[in-house]
A and B are shown apart, each in its own frame.
Chain A
Amino acid sequence: MTDQSASAPILSVRGLTKTFRLHTLGGAEIRGCDGVSFDLAPGRFLALTGPNGSGKSSVLKCIYRTYLPTSGEIRYWPAEGPDVDLARADERRILVLRRREIGYVTQFLRVVPRVSVVDVVAEGLWHMGCDARTGRQVAREMLTRLEVRPHLWSVPPATFSAGEQQRVNLARALVLQPRLLLLDEPTASLDAAAVAVVIDLLRSLKTSGTAIIGVFHDVEPVRPLVDGIVRMQAGAGAIPAGRGHG
Chain B
Amino acid sequence: MSIAPAPSAVPPAADAQPLLVLERLLKIYGEGCPDCVARTGPAAGTNVCPRCRSVVACGDLSLRLDPGEIFGIVGESGSGKSTLLRCLYFDETPTAGHAYLTPYEAGRVDVFAISPQRRRYVRHHLLGMVYQHPHLGLDLDTSAGGNIAEKMLMAGTRHVGRMRERARELLGRTEVPLDRMDEPPRRFSGGMQQRVQIAKTLANNPPLVLLDEVTTGQDVSVQARVLDLIRSLGRSLGLAMIAVSHDLGVIRLLAQRTAVMKNGRIVELGLTDQILEDPQHPYTQLLVSSQL
Residues of A within 8 A of B (CB): 20, 22-24, 61, 65-68, 90-96, 99-100, 110, 112-115, 123, 125-130, 132, 134-135, 138, 141-142, 174-177, 200-201, 204-205, 208
Bitwise, B250-292 to A at CB < 8 A (1) or not (0) is 0011001100000000000111011001101110011001000
Q: What are 16 A-B interface contacts by the 8 Å CB criterion? A: A61-B278, A66-B274, A66-B277, A68-B274, A92-B14, A92-B257, A95-B14, A112-B253, A113-B224, A114-B224, A127-B235, A128-B11, A129-B8, A134-B5, A134-B7, A177-B4
Cβ distance A33 to chain B, nearest Cβ, rounded Å: 13
The answer on a CB contact under 8 Å between A66 and B7 is no
The answer on a CB contact under 8 Å between B6 and A177 is yes
Known A-B contacts A91-B257, A114-B224, A114-B228; the reply to A126 vs B11 at CB < 8 A is no
The answer on a CB contact under 8 Å between A90 and B8 is no
Cβ distance B213 to chain A, nearest Cβ, rounded Å: 18
Cβ distance A211 to chain B, nearest Cβ, rounded Å: 15
Cβ distance A71 to chain B, nearest Cβ, rounded Å: 14
The answer on a CB contact under 8 Å between B64 and A92 is yes
The answer on a CB contact under 8 Å between A114 and B257 is no
The answer to whether B106 has its CB under 8 Å from any CB of chain A is no
The answer on a CB contact under 8 Å between B228 and A115 is yes
Known A-B contacts A92-B66, A96-B13; the reply to A23 vs B282 at CB < 8 A is yes
Please, which residues of chain A bring their CB within 8 A of the CB of B252? Answer: 110
Please, which residues of chain A bring their CB within 8 A of the CB of B225? Answer: 114
Please, which residues of chain A bring their CB within 8 A of the CB of B43? Answer: none
Q: How far is the CA of A190 from the CA of B269 in the complex (A)?
A: 37
Q: Which of B2, B4, B289 contacts A24 (CB 8 A)?
A: B289
Cβ distance B43 to chain A, nearest Cβ, rounded Å: 14
Please, which residues of chain A bring their CB within 8 A of the CB of B11? Answer: 96, 99-100, 127-129
Q: Which of A61, A112, A128, A132 contacts B9 (CB 8 A)?
A: A128
Q: How far is the CA of A128 from the CA of B256 in the complex (A)?
A: 15
The 7 closest A-B pairs by CB, nearest first: A129-B9, A23-B282, A113-B224, A96-B14, A128-B7, A130-B7, A67-B278
Bitwise, B237-258 to A at CB < 8 A (1) or not (0) is 0000000000000001100110
